[in-house]
Amino acid sequence: MDIALGIVLLAASSTLFTAAVRIRARANPHDPFPFWSNPPVRPPRANLLQGLAGAALILGGFVLFPALGFFTALLFAAATVAPALAMLGHNRAAVA
């Protein structure tokens, strides 16, 4: 049960982070996302989604770690793939 709950929380986190990236991409259509800072326009809705995603990611980690141990880090990495790909896709389109 704990493993299923943790995986659902990580999946929700990935979905929320991706939604936040897509909202920011629509607000900054011609500006690429900077690597170490924030884009010029940050809609409040995207900030809220990113905060909820971070909370879900951490809570999922706390739920999964007793059952999976170090392998929780691999699931964390897997949860960041979709938002990273969305960000990279936006940066390629904004530069081109």
CB atoms within 10 A of CB 69: 9
- Whole-number Å distance between alpha carbons of 28 and 55: 25
Average pLDDT rounded to a whole number, residues 59-68: 94
Kindly state the tokens that stand for 2. 């704990």
Please answer whether residues 7 and 72 qualify as being in contact, where contact means their C-beta atoms are separated by less than 8 angstroms.
Answer: no
* Tally of helices (H runs) and strands (E runs) in the chain: 4, 0
User: How does residue 62 score in pLDDT terms, banded at 50, 70 and 90?
Assistant: very high
pTM listed for this prediction: 0.90
